[in-house]
Each structure stands twice: as C-alpha cells, then as structure tokens.
Amino acid sequence: MKITNCQVNHLTDPLGFDMQETVFSFQVTQAAGTRLVEARLIVTARGTAVADSGWTENPDPRAWRVNVPLAPRTRYTWTVSVRTDAGEDAVSAPNTFETALMDEGWQARWLTCDRGERLPIFHKHIDVPADLASARLYICGLGLYEARLNGKKIGSEYLTPYCNNYHAWLQYQTFDVTEHLRAGGDLSVLMGDGWYMSRFGYQSKPGDSGLCGDAHKLIAQVVMTDAVGRETVVGTDDSWTVTRSCITFTSIYDGEHRDDTLPETAPEQAVYAEPPKAALTARWSLPVTAHETWRPIELIRTPKGETVLDLGQNFSGTFRMRVHEPAGTAIRLQVGEVLQQGCFYRDNLRSALAEYRYVSDGREKVIEPVFTFYGYRYVKVEGVSDLRTEDFTAVALYSDLPETGAIETGHAKVNQLIKNAHWGLRSNFLDVPTDCPQRDERMGWTGDAQVFSPPACNIRDGYAVLGEYLHDMATEQAALGGLVPNVVPSFSDCNRGTATVWGDAATIIPWNLYRMYGDEAILNCQYDAMKAWVDFLTRVDGDEHHWRDVFHYGDWLALDNPRGGVDQTFGGTDVGYIADVYYAGSARIVAKSAALLGKAEEADHYEALAERILSDLRDEYFSPNGRCCIPTQTAQILALHYPGVTVSREKAAERLRECFRETGGELRTGFVGTPLLCGTLCDIGETKLAYDLLLREDYPGWLYEVNLGATTIWERWNSMNPDGSVSSTGMNSFNHYAYGSIVQWLFEYAAGLKPDEACPGFARAKIHPHVDERLGHVEMRYASASGEYRISWAFAGEQLTLHVEIPFGCTAALTLPGADETLELTPGKYDYTLPKAQCVRHGATAPLRPDGWGRPSA
Ligand code: BGC
C-alpha cells in the first residue's frame, strides 16, 4: 500500500504561496482494502509538532481541513498515516509547505529608475555569511522581472510576477537561493515591460503605451539564515545601482529587440519609487516554465524566396537560437501559424508584430527572448547567412499543470483531434486561461475559460490555475459592483463590458471545480463573488428583463445566423433566451453553493429566483404546450441541458432531432451550444448522431480541420477553406481552445466517466460508456482527486469488451452500454463482454436522462 499525491491546498510542496487555510489531500494506492477507516495527519515545524489531527475516522482524503497555526517564513513538514478496512497501515513520505512573509511586512522599499532607452538591470552585492544555512529571495518587479545571482537565473520561471489585476493586487514570488548564494552574492534583476507596461488589448496599436503603469518598479528582500539561526536581511534600498541591458524594446504582442553591440553603461543610483497602490501578496499563480523543446522539422525556401522554419506544431512559447554572425549583423525573426500558398503568412495576428530583432556582436551564442511569448508554428528568418535547423529550438511555455487524463481511441484522426485539444490547453494556460496565444488579444476571455474549464480539468489538474483566475475575477468584481468583465484581468475600461455565458464564468467555473475536486474551499472563497454576479444580474434585469436586451455575444461563431457571411460572428439563437437560461443557471449554482455552505435562507432566495426567471423564460420563449419557439439547435440543447427550462423534454428532444433533419445532420452550433452538443444528443438517445458529428470529415466538423493539417484547435469551424486558404483575418485564430471541449464529451460519454455531484471529486462516479464501432476502441485513464479511474472498451467481432477500474475509497454506478439499469461498483477491476447488438442501441427508445444543474440538496 502506498500514499501518493500528497498536497496542501491542491499544491505539491508549495513554497511561498498565499495561504489562508490548510486543506490537505492524499490518495491511497496498491491497497488490499477498499476504503479508509482512519487517518492521522501530523505537521511539524523546526522539529516540533504544531498540528496533530489525532486518529480520525473517515477523514475526507480529497479535502481534509487540519488547522495549522501558520507563522511567517516557516517551513512545515507533514505526514499522513492511514488504516484501511483490511487492517493495513501506511505512512506517507514527508511532504512540505513553506509560508511567505504573511503579515510580517517588508524591510525592503520599492525602487525605480529612469525609463531610458534600454531595459534596466538593478544590482546589489550581498555579503553572504560564511556559515549560510538557508536563504530566500522574496521579490516582485513591474512589469516583469528576471532575477539572477552571479549571472545565473534564479529558478526556472518565465514572465514573473505574472498577469493579474494589477490595480488590485500584485504577487511576489519566493525563491530558495541558498545554493546560489553559496557561490557568491552578485544579485541582479533585469526588468521588462510585460502586461503592465507594454501595450495590451485588441484595441491597442504598436507604439501605444501600457495600461497599468509607465515606470519599472522593484521590491526584493533576501533573508539569509546562518548555522546558529541568526538572520541577515538585505532588501531593495538606495544603495542599489542600475545599469542598462542590451534589450531596447519588449512587448507582449510585438516581441523583443536586443542589440549586443551596445556599450556597457556606468552604474546609476536606483531611486525610491512611489509604492504601487495595489496590495502586495504572496503568489497565487503557478510557475510558468519551459516544457517541451524541439527542433524544426523543415527549413523551407518559399516561392517568395523567404527562409522559413517549420516547427511542425502550433504552440505558445519562446525559442532559443544559436547565432554565429559577424558583428553588426541584424537578424529578424517573425512568426506565423500557417503558410499561405507555401509562403509565410501572419495577417491573422492582426496588429501584433510578434517578432524578434537582434544585432550580433560577432560572438557565437544562444539568444532567447526574455519578456515576451509567441503563438506560432512557422518562423521567418532574415539576416542569418547559413541557417541550420539545429540552430533553432522551440520552447513551449505554460503553467505547471500536472497531467491527469489521457484518452486514446482506435481512430487516428480522433486521436489527432485529442492531441490538438491538449496543445490548445498548453498554448492557452500561460498563467491566465486565454482565448488565443498569437494575435493582439491573448486575453483571459471569461466565456472561453468557462466552456473549457471541464475538459481542462479532465486533461490536467486545473484547480490551482483556475482558482487563481477566479480570485482575480473576484478582485475585478469587487471594484465593479459584481459585474464580471468580459476579460480577466481587464486592465482598462475598454475590456469591462459584460455578457451572458461569459460573466457566468463566475459561478460555473467554481461549481465545476467543486464537482471535479470535491473541495468546498473553492465555493467558500468565491461565494461572495458568485452571489455578487447574480445580484448584479438582478439589478440589471429589473422588473422588465433588461438583461435580455443588453449586448451579448450569444452563441458566438455559430453557423445559423440568417445574415451569415464569412465574417459573421453572431449565431442565430435569441440572445435574450440564452441570457435567461444562464441567469437562472447561475442563480441555481449560488443556491446549491449556499446550501452546501450552510446558508439555508440564501439557498431559498436564489432557488426561488431561479424558478422565477425560468417561469418568465418559459412564458416568453415557449408555446403554452411546451415547444421552444427558437428554431435552433442551441436553443433545444439548452432546454435539454438545464433543468426547468422546458416543461417537456420530449418536445425539446424531438425538436432537436428535427433541427438536425433540417440541416441534413450538420451542426450549426457556436461557443454556447457546441460544448453541450454531443452530450445532449447522447442524453436523448441519439448517440449515433453524436458520433456522426464527431467523425464528420468535412466542414462543419471537428475532423475537417484535422484533415487540413491542424495541430491545435481552430477558433472557427471554417478558419480555413477547403483549398487551404485562410477564410478571414478579422478574427481568426488557429489556436483557440473552446471547440476542444469535445474532449470533455470523449471523457464523459465515449469513455463514460462523470463525477457524481452528490459525492464530488469522483468519490463516487457515474460511468456510462456510449459506444460506436466506428471508433474501434477507447482507452481512458483519469487521475481524479480521488484516485485513478480507468475505462476501456473495444469491439471484437460480434462482441464488445469493457474494462473498468475504480480506485481505492470510491464507488461508482455503472450503466452498461445499451442497458437501462445501473450496477453498483466498489474499488477494483471489472471486465464485461457484451453482445454488440445489445450495446449499440440508438434512437428514441433510450430513456431521457436529465442531467446538469439539479436542485440544491436539503
Ligand atoms: C476572442 C474570443 C472571445 C470573443 C468575445 C474574441 O476576440 O478571441 O474567443 O470570447 O472575442 O466574443
């Protein structure tokens, strides 16, 4: 028996994270028993026990709150011991967490310097005690910083202090610098512009100034502890000096310029800065680090005579390039996602220059941008005399999200689609969950994050990254009367509109995290913000349903707008209807959360609100006999997915079938309908149609883009025309994750694994594989918050074999393909062989299974 995945606040051995409380989690594997009987958690600091749960019966291993008296800058070690129902015992290996400064305050003061023509480097020589035992660096720099000791980068993180609502809060990071300092005390901090100081937002143009500030600012504090526990603190003060780097320009959208021929500069004195108004807090953001690295697959000479490297994969990140050019040679790199007629292309990046300019000093070296990132597959290279593919290395940058789920099928193109969705996630979880990584946006669009949050948590551990995003969202809401800006962080008024489905991220994402991870902490943290969003809607809605009338994106990029056209972005489903459905849905989530958090009166209030909105919605959008008057696929999908929208699921189901008959079986859905499309079809017994849509190879369908060589998920169903030409450049990205939500369907329906909301965090699962011979087989594993589930099925001749594994401590209700009744499963491995004819039962005979948002539990 082993104890694995030990975490505190859903982080493994966190160093310097903001900690309001301590919630522990762990998993038991390789046990003879099936469930935990009791456990004991002990926390020590400096060798002394500071918390001991004592032997506790049935603690929740997904979220065990053990109160630890937290002190600043303290390293804690903890172990958990468990006993199972088979009488086994085990103790975990020691785990750690370390607090940051907490309320101790800073001895350091904020510094700044002249803006100058070149990015500044702040310096300080530190005298290191001979018997140094440990040392930490606490640091925040605006816009971005990269700290070095003795010329060596500290840590492996990129783009610190990350991207959040700088008007409200700033994050400082903590680094263990013990080893660095043993080698010497030359501390230097290179400063960049980043989201804070370079232009940002889709209405900005190259040359525009930043939205948050115009001066580099730095605060840093090194705490050194010697062998007898004596502390020496060195913080930023006016003894620090400033020199100038060779970086002459840096911008998130426009790239970076470096000129190595520039002379060294004499040290200037750093000056004290006006401290930023925002609160300086310990980090929430996960580290963004370099993950995959690889070489170009091809060096292309294009018909226009351009030299272009093909990385073979669209992605987000940076690069390293070996240069060996004579002094004074100017090199320019530009990036793009696709080629057009074999030539370099980047019009769809719009105003983003996304380039790197370098002037060589004649010395051979490896160059790498520091304070920018690119979304790209192709690189146009100018100024290099003998370019070799081995000189260039692609570096994927994204937040450190542990992989949790994998799914593979017997269909090569579906497997490529899954891979593309993985790359969509990697490319768009660079600290903030973004819409896209390449053009002049790369922003935390709430709607995109909302629809992609469940699949994100299927394939990676999304708790911490989405938790930080929600925390940031709440800081925005606090200043905007509960309004959720369309993008988080918003940075400026031009991004502070709000809309249905987008703003509902404030309720839907926390609820998804609660369902997937089973920790009420997320509801506790977000409850006020969730409520504030619904209260905001109530104020806007008034007595006359004004929320229906404000600007909404609606079923964004759906294909059923009667006034279609290549640049059409709005779908055909009445936005007022969508607005009502999501308003009621958000109210119901708040009601359920209130019930869980023991706020019975508020639960009643929000449930009654949801009922009232639904009743008004039915009056407005349904016939008296319960037929939805909006003739679109998405309208019926919402009616079927969200309980209470329709009084007649049968009518909505029939109408949805009819909608598909009218389009000859083609989908017409956009951002709202698509994530729910295939699941809803399975729920009404139309599994074959769901598979028809998944497997469709031409437009509009998921495999259309796979056939056209996509290596990520496109923003539009028709981002590219069948002849390979880009369909429009106004708004067209080849790396948008929203339609990658099909991966959630593959987990939840094709493999068939869903969390049971009543026992969240997969303590109990609902398993119901929906099979189709065209997929051949499915193999899925999911490292849930409760342990690893595995489901696989395969067709062999006239039979279907099904394998299911339930982890320690969990239970599941299994519905076999084609069956109506469910089987109760306890931890263990199960194999079934079923006659094919019985499993593949399609059509209206299957039961209508309501799913989605239920009522609050009493
Ligand atoms: C973004 C989206 C976003 C949308 C708002 C676009 O420019 O890329 O994905 O949700 O605007 O409708």
Residue-level pLDDT at 203: 87
Q: Write down the pLDDT at residue 566.
A: 73
Strand residue runs (E) in 46-181: 48-52, 56-57, 64-65, 75-84, 89-91, 95-98, 111-112, 120-125, 132-142, 144-149, 152-153, 169-176
447 lines ligand 1 (CB under 6 A): yes
- What distance separates the 2 farthest-apart alpha carbons in the chain? 84
Q: Is residue 553 in contact with ligand 1, taking CB distance under 6 Å?
A: yes
* 760 vs 855 pLDDT, higher one: 760
pLDDT digits (tens, 9 = 90+) for 699-729: 999 999 999 999 999 999 999 999 999 998 8
* Ligand 1, atom nearest to 671 Cα: 10
pLDDT tens-digit series, residues 446-501: 999 999 999 999 999 999 999 999 999 999 999 999 999 999 999 998 888 999 99
Confidence of residue 559 (pLDDT cuts 50, 70, 90): very high
pLDDT at 552 over 70: yes
Distance CA 412, CA 92 (A): 41
pLDDT surpasses 50 at 349: yes
Q: Which residue has the least CA distance to atom 4 on ligand 1?
A: 445
Contacts of 542 (CB under 8 A, 6+ apart): none
Query: Is 347's pLDDT higher than 70?
Result: yes
Concatenated DSSP letters of 479-529? HTTT---SBSS--SGGG----TTTTTHHHHHHHHHHHHH--THHHHHHHHH
Q: Indicate whether residue 445 lines ligand 1 (CB < 6 A).
A: yes
631-671 tens-digit pLDDT: 999 999 999 999 999 999 999 999 999 999 999 999 999 99
Q: Which atom of ligand 1 is nearest to the CA of 715?
A: 9
Residue 821's pLDDT is: 86
Q: Report phi then psi at 508, rounded to 5.
A: -70, -40
Cα 430 to Cα 144: distance, rounded to the nearest angstrom? 14
Cβ burial, residue 95 (10 Å; 0-12/13-18/19+):
buried
Determine phi and psi for 418, rounding to 5 degrees.
-65, -45
Mean pLDDT computed over 751-766: 98
- CA of 569, closest atom in ligand 1: 12
DSSP, res 779: E
User: Does residue 448 line the site of ligand 1, with CB under 6 A?
Assistant: yes
Centre of ligand 1 to C-alpha 717, Å, is: 14
Q: What is the residue with the minimal CA distance to atom 2 of ligand 1?
A: 435
Cβ of 556 closer than 6 Å to ligand 1, yes or no, is yes
pLDDT value at 843 more than 70: no
Query: Measured from the CB, is residue 570 less than 6 Å from ligand 1?
Result: no
Residue 844 has pLDDT above 70, yes or no: no
Ligand 1 atom with least separation from CA of 733: 8
Catalytic residues: 441, 715
**Residue 595, strand partner residues:** none
Region of residue 265 (left: phi > 0; alpha: psi -120 to 50; beta: else) = beta
Ligand 1, closest atom to CA 447?
10
- pLDDT band for position 849 (cuts 50, 70, 90): very low
Q: Whose CA is nearest to atom 8 of ligand 1?
A: 435
pLDDT at position 841, please? 57
- Res 194: pLDDT: 98
User: How far apart are the CA of 123 and the centre of ligand 1, in A?
Assistant: 42
Q: Is the dihedral of CA 748, 751, 756, 760 positive or negative?
A: negative
Provide the pLDDT for residue 613: 98
Q: Tell how far the Cα of 502 is from the centroid of ligand 1, in angstroms.
A: 10
Measured over the CA atoms of residue 573, residue 579, residue 584 and residue 589, the dihedral's sign is: positive
CA of 18 to the centre of ligand 1 (A): 31
Q: Mean per-residue pLDDT for 305-317?
A: 98
Does the pLDDT at position 514 exceed 70?
yes
Q: For residue 856, is pLDDT > 80?
A: no
Tokens of 235: 């913080």
Q: Which residue has the tokens 């489901």?
A: 791
Distance from C-alpha of 165 to C-alpha of 284, rounded to nearest angstrom: 12
**Beta pairing class for 169-176 and 279-282:** parallel
Q: Which amino acid makes up residue 495? A: N
Q: Compute how many other C-beta atoms are within 10 angstroms of the C-beta atom of residue 382.
A: 14
Structure tokens of 291? 């993950």
436 lines ligand 1 (CB under 6 A): yes
Parallel, antiparallel or unpaired: strands 811-815 and 764-767: parallel
Match 């790209």 to its residue by tokens: 376
CA distance 85 to 78: 24
What are the pLDDT digits (tens) for 95-148? 999 999 999 999 999 999 999 999 999 999 999 999 999 999 999 999 999 999
Closest C-alpha to 769, from 839, 689, 696, 849: 839
pLDDT in tens, 225-282: 999 999 999 999 999 999 999 999 999 999 999 999 999 999 999 999 999 999 999 9
pLDDT digits (tens, 9 = 90+) for 44-99: 999 999 999 999 999 999 999 999 999 999 999 999 999 999 999 999 999 999 99
- When mean pLDDT is compared across 152-161, 195-204, 560-569, 601-610, the lowest value belongs to 560-569
Atom of ligand 1 nearest to the CA of 486: 5
Residues whose CB falls within 8 Å of the CB of residue 605, separated by 6 or more in sequence, listed in order: 591
Please name the residue whose Cα sits nearest to atom 11 of ligand 1: 445
Q: Is the CB of 441 under 6 A from ligand 1?
A: yes
End-to-end CA distance of the chain: 37
The DSSP annotation for 380-407 comes to EEES-TT--GGGEEEEEEEE---B-EEE
Measured CA distances, 666 to 628, 701, 738 (Å): 20, 8, 19
Instruction: Identify the residue whose C-alpha is closest to ligand 1 atom 9.
Output: 435
Whole-number Cα distances in Å, 660 to 666, 684, 689: 6, 13, 9
Mutational pocket test of ligand 1: of 204, 348, 351, 435, the residue with most ligand atoms within 8 Å of the beta carbon: 435
Kindly report the length of the chain. 858
Give start and end residues of each alpha helix (H) in 597-643.
600-621, 633-641
- Smallest CA-to-CA distance from 255 within 141, 146, 366, 336 is with 336
